[in-house]
């Protein structure tokens, strides 16, 4: 801002600050539609007609002013100034409304904000030049600054999606500031009228009219801005609490309504129930027909569920193909079962999607308050367990029962303890060696995570890995395993053992586009060559989203990381992708290896897999080797490396170092 200029809104965020905002997922970044209702068009048109009338009257007045040249020049300057202010104010409010609707600011809007800032600076300077000592000049600045600052505070709250805070700010600050601005404008109008009295009657009349029109213009623009902001706030609030595709309440609103239903006093003995619904064959539709059909299916399923419930009961979409139904007032389990049966029947009826007829079933789990939980989160967790029970048993729907296997209280406790276990270093890695089939030379080790629970002792991964995947803790868990394994690999290298280390990666991490960058960062931190790290992935993880998995695998390959398909032969439909995946090795699953000396079928599978690997130029590793006879058969079949209890059980890092010192490099020297 140039020296001497007073900016109208010095507390406004800069264009750089506004440019940091991001548009929320699912929000259209384009400018709002120009389609308006008749009422809106009339109101908006009224503001501009007022401005046109003011300019027309001013022109007529100016023609009659011949003697008071100074007053005429001042009036002309006011006309230009007020018109420019009108344009700047309108642009500023239009920009705010777009940013509020988007809860962010694209680059084109950020550039527009810079231009508006420059215009407001210029207007402030011209106000000062025209009447720098006038009290009403300062009053206009101060009142508009207060109003604009409050509006910007709303903008910042919306930036962080604090819709409640934005509403409170509007009620407590922006609206009062607007109310305070109006009398300031009226006082300024009176002052300008007094100034106009010094001129001739005609000049005075012209000046009074233009100043009154200017005040009316500003008041109209501010009122219009208030309407735009209120409408945008309502729309932003709806977007934050509803699903964009189906229009249903989302997880946030469902939790609020569930908590309110639980807390409501009851005299009739009723309770609250929460049902969780998962579409059984949605992924098949999405993968086979495409997302367009999948979206249609979700919309139709949402409509059917709404038709199956009563007024006052909430159908919500939690994400993907997962829905929930809140029954705020239910007599008991039989009524819940009846609702679940209606929902199940509605979802079992055929769907018609662009002329195609499809049948998609649903699995439903239910939980009741106070029998199964005291909070919204507890009810959702119990309903989730019941839903998976219904899906696993293929029974359509079921109500949560403490006798269900998956509702073991110990597992529920472990789920809540796992985060603390990761943060407090309760997890440890064990290492199981891999050896060369022909020479017995140690090639490396697979890192296997264990949980040393302070109360339950050593917990195997089969118990807590599914919990980590279900609760979202798989990301910090994988990060811990990767970092610890690379540190151990670096210690082996420092001790003169160039051994690779293998880390298992879950489906969640394999589909995480940020995972390759995380691997690159840890390799650089530990100063390790990438080929000493092997990432083990499963066929089923690849087939969950082949295109996305291929993208991640290609990035890992570009780093120089070795890639292994774990449990090969137990997945499905992977042969078509095997030729395109840049993998280095196949691991034959222990279910085939363990019985190959007694089962001809398993022996054929192992030999065929080994031959397939050789023909593709891949190293083949057999896991589950538990005796010398199996070792010898695998050697004859052409397997390159072995892993199993006959060689060594998974052991701690210290025990692995001791085991390593006692090896002589020959099969006969390796103890069980």
- Strands (E) across 437-478 are located at 442-453, 457-459
Taking phi first (over 0 means left), then psi (-120 to 50 degrees means alpha), and beta for anything else, what does residue 91 get? alpha
387 and 363 Cβ atoms separated by less than 8 Å: yes
Average pLDDT over residues 524-535: 95
- Find, among 69, 57, 83, 89, the residue nearest to 208 by Cα: 57
Residue 535 pLDDT: 95
Q: Are residues 403 and 444 in the same domain?
A: no
What are the CA-CA distances from residue 53 to residues 48, 49, 57, 214 (Å)?
9, 6, 6, 11
d(CA 592, CA 586): 14
More confident residue, 68 or 443: 443
Residue with tokens 């209606």: 342
Does 196 share its domain with 255? no
Q: How far apart are CA 242 and CA 294, in angstroms?
A: 19
Residue 628 lies in a domain: yes
Buried b (16+ CB within 10 A) or exposed e, 444-468: bbbbbbbbebeeeeebebeebbebb
Q: Looking at residue 449, what is its pLDDT?
A: 93
Nearest to 280 by CA among 174, 157, 365: 365
Q: Is residue 418 part of a domain?
A: yes
Within the chain, how many helices (H) and strands (E) appear? 25, 16
% of the chain surpassing 70 pLDDT: 63
Is residue 246 included in any domain, yes or no? no
Same domain, 369 and 432: no
From 407, 435, 455, give the residue that closes a domain.
407
Among 511, 583, 576, which residue's Cα sits nearest to residue 547?
511
**Are residue 400 and residue 263 in the same domain, yes or no?**
yes
Residue that wins the pLDDT comparison between 113 and 40:
113
How many other C-beta atoms lie within 10 A of the C-beta of residue 367? Answer: 26
Residues across the chain: 672
Question: Which of 374, 407, 440 represents a domain boundary (last residue)?
Answer: 407
Give the confidence band of 467 by pLDDT, cuts at 50, 70, 90: confident
For residue 440, pLDDT beyond 50: yes
Whether residues 91 and 141 fall in one domain: yes
Instruction: Please state, in angstroms and rounded to a whole number, the distance separating the CA atoms of residues 651 and 404.
Output: 34
Work out the average pLDDT over 97-124: 63
Residue 76 lies in a domain: yes
**From the CB of residue 432, how many other CB atoms can be counted at a distance below 10 Å?**
19
Could you tell me whether strands 500-504 and 585-588 are parallel, antiparallel, or unpaired per DSSP bridges? unpaired
Among residues 282, 10, 254, 6, the alpha carbon closest in space to that of 127 is found at 6
Choice among 10-14, 208-212, 542-546 with the minimum mean pLDDT? 10-14
Q: Give the pLDDT band (50/70/90) at residue 473.
A: confident
Do 268 and 324 share a domain, yes or no?
Answer: yes
Name the residue with higher pLDDT: 316 or 235.
Answer: 316
Q: Quick check: is 9 in a domain?
A: no
Question: What would the mean pLDDT of 515-531 be, rounded to a whole number?
Answer: 94
Closest CA to 389 of 376, 408, 373: 408
Please indicate, yes or no, whether residues 386 and 482 belong to a single structural domain of this protein: no
Section 618-624 average pLDDT? 92
Angstrom CA distances, 419 to 425, 507, 562, stand at 10, 20, 30
Three-class HEC string of 542-564? HHHCHHHHHHHHHHHHHHCCEEE
Give the pLDDT mean for 606-612.
89
Q: In 3D, which of 80, 312, 398 has the Cα closest to residue 214?
A: 80
Residue 527, by phi and psi: left (phi above 0), alpha (psi -120 to 50) or beta?
left
- Distance in angstroms (rounded) separating the CA atoms of residues 61 and 204: 9
Domain of 114?
15-241
DSSP 157: H
Asked which of 195, 218, 241 is the last residue of a domain, the reply is 241
Residue 176: pLDDT band with limits 50, 70, 90: confident
Whole-number Cα distances in Å, 100 to 161, 291, 396: 10, 29, 43
Lowest mean pLDDT across 19-23, 54-58, 59-63, 632-636: 19-23
Question: Which of 307-321, 479-493, 595-609, 611-625 shows the highest mean pLDDT?
Answer: 479-493
Whether 540 is in a domain gets the answer yes
> So what's the pLDDT on residue 38?
40
Residue 663 has pLDDT above 90, yes or no: no
CA–CA distances in Å: residue 25 to residues 155, 231, 249:
18, 20, 16
Q: What is the pLDDT of residues 399-410, one digit of tens each?
A: 988 655 444 556
Task: Give mean pLDDT, residues 160-186.
Answer: 66
Q: Which of the four pLDDT bands, split at 50, 70 and 90, describes residue 421?
A: confident
Q: Examine residue 3 and state whether it is found in any structural domain, yes or no.
A: no
What is the average pLDDT across 436-449?
Answer: 94
Most confident of 144-158, 215-229, 467-481: 467-481
Shared domain for 496 and 454, answered yes or no, is: yes
Structure token digits, residue 255: 């939790």
**416: domain CATH number?**
3.20.20.450
Packed helices 201-241 and 38-64: angle between N→C axes, nearest 10 degrees: 160
Q: Is residue 2 part of a domain?
A: no
Task: Write the CA distances from 449 to 169, 229, 481, integer angstroms.
Answer: 50, 53, 7
SS3 state at 610: helix
For all residues of the chain together, what is the average pLDDT?
75
Q: What is the mean pLDDT of residues 67-84?
A: 55
DSSP annotation string for 275-319: EEEEETTHHHHHHHH-HHHHHHHHHHHHHHHHHHS-TT-EEEEEE
Q: What is the pLDDT of residue 248?
A: 92
The reply to whether 190 and 131 lie within a common domain is yes
Question: What residues contact 664, with CB distance under 8 A and at least 6 apart?
Answer: none
Contact 510, 549 (CB under 8 A): yes
The pLDDT assigned to 288 comes to 75
Query: Any long-range contacts for 622-631 (C-beta under 8 Å, 24+ apart)?
Result: 622/587, 622/588, 622/593, 623/587, 623/588, 623/589, 623/590, 623/593, 624/589, 624/590, 624/591, 624/593, 624/594, 625/593, 626/594, 627/597, 628/667, 629/597, 630/593, 630/594, 630/596, 630/597, 631/437, 631/667
Overall domain count for the chain: 3
- Say whether pLDDT at 470 is over 90: no
580 pLDDT band, cuts 50/70/90, is confident
Q: How far is CA 548 from the centre of its chain?
A: 17
For residues 205-230, average pLDDT? 63
- Are residues 183 and 208 located together in one domain of the fold? yes
184 and 92 inside one domain: yes
Q: Are residues 208 and 290 in the same domain?
A: no
Three-state DSSP class for 603?
helix
| Mean pLDDT of the 310-314 span | 90
Residue 272's domain is classified under what CATH number? Answer: 3.30.70.270
Strand order in the sheet with 314-319: 314-319, 322-330, 271-279, 362-369, 397-399
Q: What are phi and psi of 462, to 5 degrees?
A: -60, -20
């Amino acid at each position: 801002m140039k020296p001497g200029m007073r900016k109208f809104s010095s507390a406004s965020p800069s264009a750089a600050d506004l440019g940091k905002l991001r548009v929320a997922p699912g929000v259209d970044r384009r400018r709002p539609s120009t389609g308006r209702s008749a009422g809106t068009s009339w109101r908006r048109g009224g503001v501009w007609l007022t401005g046109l009338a003011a300019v027309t009257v001013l022109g007529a007045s100016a023609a009659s002013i011949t003697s008071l040249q100074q007053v005429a020049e001042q009036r002309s300057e006011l006309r230009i100034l007020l018109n420019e202010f009108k344009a700047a104010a309108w642009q500023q409010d239009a920009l705010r409304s777009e940013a509020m609707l988007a809860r962010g600011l694209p680059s084109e809007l950020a550039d527009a904000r810079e231009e508006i800032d420059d215009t407001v600076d210029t207007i402030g300077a011209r106000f000062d030049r025209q009447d720098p000592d006038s009290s009403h000049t300062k009053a206009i600045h101060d009142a508009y600054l207060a109003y604009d600052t409050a509006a910007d505070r709303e903008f910042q709250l919306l930036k962080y999606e604090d819709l409640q805070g934005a509403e409170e700010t509007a009620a407590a600050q922006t609206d009062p500031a607007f109310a305070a601005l109006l009398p300031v404008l009226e006082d300024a109008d009176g002052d300008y009228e007094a100034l106009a009295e010094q001129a001739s009657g005609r000049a005075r009349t012209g000046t009074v009219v233009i100043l009154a029109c200017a005040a009316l213009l500003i008041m109209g623009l501010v009122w219009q801005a208030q309407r735009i902001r209120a409408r945008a706030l309502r729309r932003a609030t709806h977007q934050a609490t509803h699903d964009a595709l189906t229009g249903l309440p989302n997880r946030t609103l469902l939790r609020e309504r569930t908590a309110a239903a639980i807390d409501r006093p009851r005299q009739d003995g009723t309770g609250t129930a929460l049902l969780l619904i998962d579409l059984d064959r949605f992924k098949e539709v999405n993968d086979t027909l495409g997302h367009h059909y999948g979206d249609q299916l979700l919309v139709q399923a949402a409509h059917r569920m709404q038709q199956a419930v009563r007024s006052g009961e909430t159908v919500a979409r939690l994400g993907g193909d997962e829905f929930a139904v809140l029954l705020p007032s239910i007599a008991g389990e039989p009524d819940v079962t009846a609702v679940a049966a209606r929902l199940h029947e509605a979802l079992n009826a055929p769907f018609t999607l662009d002329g195609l007829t499809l049948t998609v079933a649903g699995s439903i789990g239910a939980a009741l308050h106070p029998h199964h939980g005291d909070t919204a989160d507890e009810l959702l967790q119990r309903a989730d367990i019941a839903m998976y029970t219904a899906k696993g048993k293929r029974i359509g729907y079921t109500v949560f029962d403490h006798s269900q296997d998956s509702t073991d209280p110990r597992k529920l406790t472990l789920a809540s303890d796992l985060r603390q276990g990761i943060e407090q270093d309760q997890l440890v890695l064990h290492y199981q060696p891999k050896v060369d089939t022909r020479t017995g030379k140690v090639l490396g080790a697979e890192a296997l995570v264990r949980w040393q629970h302070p109360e339950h002792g050593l917990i195997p991964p089969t118990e807590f890995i599914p919990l980590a995947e279900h609760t979202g803790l798989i990301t910090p868990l994988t990060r811990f395993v990767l970092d610890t394994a690379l540190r151990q690999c670096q210690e082996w290298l420092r001790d003169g053992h160039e051994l690779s280390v293998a880390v298992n990666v879950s489906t969640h991490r394999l589909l995480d586009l940020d995972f390759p960058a995380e691997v690159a960062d840890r390799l650089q931190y530990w100063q390790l060559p990438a080929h000493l790290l092997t990432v083990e992935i499963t066929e089923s993880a690849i087939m969950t989203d082949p295109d996305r998995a291929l993208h991640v695998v290609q990035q890992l390959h570009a780093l120089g990381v070795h890639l292994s398909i774990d449990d090969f032969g137990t997945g499905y439909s992977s042969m078509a992708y095997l030729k395109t995946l840049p993998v280095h090795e196949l691991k034959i699953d222990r279910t085939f290896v363990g019985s190959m000396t007694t089962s001809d079928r398993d022996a054929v599978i192992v030999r065929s897999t080994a031959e397939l690997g050789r023909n593709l130029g891949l190293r083949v590793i057999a896991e589950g080797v538990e005796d010398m006879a199996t070792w010898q058969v695998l050697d004859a079949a052409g397997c390159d490396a072995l892993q199993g209890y006959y060689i060594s059980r998974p052991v701690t890092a210290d025990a692995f170092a001791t085991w390593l010192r006692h090896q002589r490099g020959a099969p006969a020297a390796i103890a069980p």
